[in-house]
Structure 1
Amino acid sequence: MSDTGPEMVEPEALAAEHALGVLTAPERAAAELRMASDASFAQAVDAWRVRLGPLASEVADVAPSDKVWPRIERALPVNDNNPQLARRLAFWRGATVGAMGLAAASLMVAVYLGSRPPVVIPAPATAAPPMLNASLNTEGGQALFVASYDPQRQALIITSLVPPGTDPLHVHQLWLIPPEDGVPRSLGMVEPGTAKTMPLDASLSQMAHEGSQLAVSVEPMGGSPEPGPSGPVAAIGALGEI
């Protein structure tokens, strides 16, 4: 890489190194596991293989020249009339030719393996749980908030459709109400006109399923002083698949 060029970010650099075959065995195993679960990383590796593939075709087969052994024989102080020395010469000549051929074959195999896509054992396919959505409406049917819950990430995204500055003396507090017990659990405040991601802990994630309700109450600054809503419920809706 040129010192004056832009530095690649970590995933791109790792993809290039994997395509080049310069990773250690543990690094290569980790990269292939990442390819099985990260489609964008796998595409980056494939793109680098396409770019680097022509390099393998530029490596020619290596074979010893026919002039090598005559030159070596002329340089050796060997008496051809000595059968024992002649046999030794023949043995080492054959062994060396074989070794050179083996080295050439090894180089070809290394080039081939370096350019060949790795065998990736895909992870067992598991269906991701479906996203759940809710429209939180007033009694008259007006939508004031929309929410989406991702069970895989265990996170709720809530968007307020209330114009900012509508009621500067109060706050909007979000509640999760599972149908099993009907008890509201506070998830926090929602600023008017904003979208907010709310990670849920393990206990709340178990309650955020299809049929559970989300409600927003109007509370004094700082939130409800009680375990449940203390002010009027402005909007409510149930989580479900679209």
Structure 2
Amino acid sequence: MSEAPDLSEAEALAAEHALGVLDARERAEAELRMAREPAFAADVAAWQARLAPLLEQIPSVPAPAGLWARIERLLPANDSRTSGAANDNGALLGRLRFWRNAAMGGFALAAASLAAVVVQVNQPPVTVTRDVPVAPQGQLLSASVVSQDSRVQPLFTAAYDPDRKALIVTSLLPEGSERDKVHELWLIAGQDNPKSLGLVESGKAKVIALPTELMAKMAEGAALAVSVEPPGGSQNPDGPSGPVIGVGKLSRL
């Protein structure tokens, strides 16, 4: 099995930021990079415009029962571990600690902001130009890969962007649902044998750059399929070696 080549680091990060799959630290770094690099900001905007129809297909997930109650219990202002008067004192002390820490944090933030202003004043002026995202020229395609049993539930969503020469695949399965197996994505076009597009992880999104020979086969009516394979993927050069759990046809967005 051979995987398609990866996009550049900047392209992949822009796509992942547009999809909203970065963690808090990575998202902050991406936002900072957008402020510093107009070309990267334009890439993110372009991905957001292209992926908007795909994101609308992903069903919303309600918050678990009792989530807000657990959040409130973790707040410093609600840190009370005793009862009666001691409980009131604990709550009061908790609130005092909360506001004291908030005030100290405010002083620290003000000092940091003042230091940043001083540094900026001493820097030469920088002219920032922002590239205008180019409207898609090719035909965007999408597919919903659904299970093949009686439940018919969505397992993966995919969007193909011919301008970026990339396929964006998002898993709707719980992360880590296949512990000793892997999911492999396949392209089925015409009478050709299935072509591997690489491995996709449960609960995650992936940007797959497509080689030229596969781009020509990404057309309306072609199908995407996902099989369950041993670690490393299928050892069968002609297609899946494990069971196919989902199939979906590409259609115009």
- In the superposition, the TM-score normalised over structure 2's length comes to 0.48
Higher relative contact order (CA 8 A, sep 6+): 2
In our comparison, the structure showing a higher alpha carbon Rg is: 1
- In the superposition, the TM-score normalised over structure 1's length comes to 0.50
